[in-house]
């Protein structure tokens, strides 16, 4: 059937809606709020999904991070040391020698420098000591110079690699390779600069995510032998272990084995934590799926209420236009023509409400992002879904009033006052 055959119904429908502007607007409000709720709810869940994936990308989906829970004062330290020696190189060796499926791993030692030259205009970068395979574990790329190698680590070479932000804060925008920085009392030669890395806006699961752009990365042996933290008596021998799991291994099962080894060695002192991005990913997916279902259910109720409003308005319209329906039937209009006329009006209401609802939902998602600080992402799929559902509900809501109008007896309808 050609589009031109629908033009009379479209014209009559638009005319009817424009004659009763306020009533038409009130009928649309349910759809506006319903579609807006669907768009904004889906934007919240999409934003949470994107934020979750950025966290997982930072940690590495195939990685495992062992973090030491270090003591905050001497009394706590003494209580722990009566049970556990803390995180040590011995733990690292026990893990690498007894747990299969590990592709790469490195201990980590870090501390906050007290003095630096050049003096950074902003926050002082964090110094960490790792082995050369740190680059492989996190799939990092060197933008300038090179990363340190096994020889640098074996000889405790006074060299370092800077994160992008650390390089700018310390040495400006000029090439940094070959220049020197002084960390506490030790001069380090800059041999490389890492390419910029994505960062997270907040912590995850109680883990403080380190900004890798604001790091001074040195060989592990260099940090262990050339630097001394003023609070070293409170620190574990090493404060973290980065582990990359082989692609054919189950990272969650590997983490369970690591946890068993450390729990046994530390006598369940609770002085370490394991972060498994793959496990966090699955857990968050389940949580967000449940949250998404709840949000969509709430939005669906809004759409249903909007559909009821359209049905109510259409029934009222049928009652008011009974004589018009009788006259149309008397001059030859078929029942299907009457049905099509009223369905067209119902769909026009839902289309207009859907379009306004999309604008309302987009604006609402922006307001939520600005006021609550949540990440929101309005996707094309959410717009299509919300608009399609609104049109479908409008169509279904108009069926009963349209059929009622078509079933009116023409003679009785003409005589109706």
Domain assignment present for residue 124? The answer is yes
Annotate 222-290 with DSSP letters as a single string.
HHHHH---TTGGGS-S-SEEEEEE-TTS-HHHHHHHHHHHHHHHTTT---EEEE-HHHHHHHHHHHHHH
Looking at the structure, tell me whether residues 322 and 249 fall in a common domain: no
| pLDDT tens, position by position, 303-332 | 777 778 788 877 777 777 777 777 777 777
Residue 62 belongs to a domain = no
pTM value? 0.64
Same-domain pairing of 207 and 112: yes
Q: Are residues 146 and 255 in the same domain?
A: yes
64 found inside a domain: no
Q: What is the pLDDT of residues 48-64, one digit of tens each?
A: 777 766 666 666 678 88
Residues 319 and 387 in one domain: yes
Within-domain flag for 276: no
- Same domain? For 287 and 251 the reply is no
The predicted model gives 258-265 an average pLDDT of 90
Residues 6+ apart with CB under 8 A from 350: 31, 306, 310, 390, 391, 393, 394, 395, 397
Residue-number span of the structural domain to which 344 is assigned: 3-55+283-415
Q: Both 78 and 155 in a single domain?
A: yes
Report the DSSP beta bridge partners of residue 273: 67
pLDDT at 234 over 60: no
* Maximum Cα interatomic distance, the chain, rounded to a whole number of Å: 105
Q: In this model, does residue 210 exceed pLDDT 80?
A: no
Q: Which two tokens stand for residue 46?
A: 């999409």
* Domain total of the chain: 2
SS3 content of the chain, % helix, strand, coil (to 5): 60, 15, 25
pLDDT category at 1 given cuts 50, 70, 90 is: very low
Does 378 lie in the same domain as 408?
yes
293 and 400 fall within a common domain? yes
- Is 330 found in the same domain as 288? yes
- Are residues 217 and 80 both part of a single domain? yes
Choosing from 247, 270, 293, the residue where a domain stops is: 270
């Amino acid at each position: 059937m050609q589009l031109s055959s629908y033009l009379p119904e479209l014209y009559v429908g638009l005319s009817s809606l424009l004659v009763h502007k306020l009533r038409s607007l009130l009928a649309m409000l349910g759809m506006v709020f319903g579609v807006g709720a669907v768009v904004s709810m889906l934007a919240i869940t999409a934003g949470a999904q994107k934020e979750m994936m950025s966290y997982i990308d930072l940690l590495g989906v195939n990685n495992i991070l062992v973090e030491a829970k270090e003591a905050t004062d001497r009394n706590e330290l003494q209580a722990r040391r009566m049970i556990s020696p803390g995180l040590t190189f011995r733990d690292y060796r026990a893990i690498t020698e007894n747990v299969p499926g590990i592709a790469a791993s490195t201990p980590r030692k870090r501390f906050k420098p007290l003095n630096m030259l050049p003096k950074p205009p902003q926050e002082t970068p964090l110094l960490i000591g790792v082995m050369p395979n740190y680059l492989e574990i996190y799939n990092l790329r060197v933008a300038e110079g090179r990363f340190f190698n096994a020889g640098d680590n074996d000889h405790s070479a006074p060299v370092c690699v800077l994160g992008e932000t650390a390089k700018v804060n310390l040495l400006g925008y000029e090439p940094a390779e070959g220049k020197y920085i002084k960390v506490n009392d030790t001069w380090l030669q800059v041999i490389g600069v890492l390419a910029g890395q994505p960062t997270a806006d907040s912590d995850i699961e109680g883990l403080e995510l380190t900004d890798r752009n604001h790091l001074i990365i040195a060989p592990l042996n260099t940090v262990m032998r050339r630097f001394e933290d003023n609070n070293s008596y409170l620190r574990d021998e090493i404060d973290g272990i980065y582990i990359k799991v082989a692609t054919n291994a189950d990272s969650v099962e590997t983490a369970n084995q690591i946890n068993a080894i450390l729990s046994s060695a530390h006598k369940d002192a609770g002085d370490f934590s394991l972060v498994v991005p793959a496990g966090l990913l699955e857990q968050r997916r389940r949580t967000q799926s449940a949250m998404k279902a709840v949000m969509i259910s709430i939005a669906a109720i809004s759409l249903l209420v909007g559909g009821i409003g359209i049905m109510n308005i259409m029934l009222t319209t049928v009652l008011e236009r009974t004589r018009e329906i009788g006259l149309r039937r008397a001059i030859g209009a078929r029942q299907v023509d009457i049905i099509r006329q009223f369905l067209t009006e119902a769909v026009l209401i839902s289309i207009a409400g859907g379009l306004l609802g999309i604008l309302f939902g987009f604006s609402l998602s922006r307001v939520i992002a600005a006021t609550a600080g949540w990440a929101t992402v309005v996707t094309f799929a959410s717009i299509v879904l919300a608009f399609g559902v609104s049109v479908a509900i409008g169509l279904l809501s108009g069926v009963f009033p349209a059929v009622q109008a078509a079933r009116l007896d023409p003679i009785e309808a003409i005589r109706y006052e």
